[in-house]
């Protein structure tokens, strides 16, 4: 959770939960197996999507990172490639993000949730791909990842 975590007050926990709970609800509707991701509180969870080259490079990088972490730290890495098990999950995911955007726009409140939704929607058109990182369910960090195409 990084800088968002300190100083930590009860209202901060509420805000962080509100900021990401809708996302995890969407993920669990799309694929009930995602409910288990990061629940042990000792895992970093990567959720990602994109073109085949990015997915291959990222999968390899995550595997290497996991091997390195296993040697040095008692931490697990879990990853979830959007659409890997069911390609229909990809459009369902983006439709869910769009629905959240419409709902937030309708409320006409400039909220942190709306910023997250806008950021996620910007990933939809990214030709390379996108990555989200969670270090504690239900929280999430949006990563802007630049991986060189080789």
Asked, as a colleague might, if the bond just before 7 is cis with ω within 30 of 0, I would say: yes
Query: Per-residue pLDDT tens for 92-114?
Result: 999 999 999 888 878 766 677 88
**What sections of the chain are H helices per DSSP?**
10-30, 52-72, 89-107, 112-124
Query: Per-residue pLDDT tens for 107-143?
Result: 766 677 888 888 889 888 887 788 888 876 666 666 6
Residue 55 near residue 83, CB atoms below 8 Å:
no
For the full predicted model, state whether its pTM sits above 0.85: no
């Amino acid at each position: 959770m990084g800088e968002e975590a300190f100083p930590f007050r009860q209202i901060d926990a509420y805000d962080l939960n509100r900021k990401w709970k809708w996302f995890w609800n969407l993920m669990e509707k799309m694929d009930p197996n995602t409910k288990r991701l990061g629940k042990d509180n000792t895992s970093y969870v990567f959720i990602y999507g994109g073109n085949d080259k990015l997915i291959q490079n990222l999968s390899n990088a995550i595997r290497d990172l996991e091997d390195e972490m296993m040697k040095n730290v008692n931490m697990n890495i879990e990853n979830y490639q959007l659409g890997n098990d069911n390609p229909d999950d990809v459009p369902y995911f983006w439709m869910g993000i769009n629905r959240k955007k419409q709902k937030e726009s309708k409320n006409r409140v400039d909220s942190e949730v709306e910023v997250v939704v806008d950021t996620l929607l910007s990933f939809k058109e990214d030709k390379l791909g996108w990555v989200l990182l969670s270090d504690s369910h239900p929280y999430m960090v949006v990563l802007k990842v630049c991986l060189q195409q080789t």
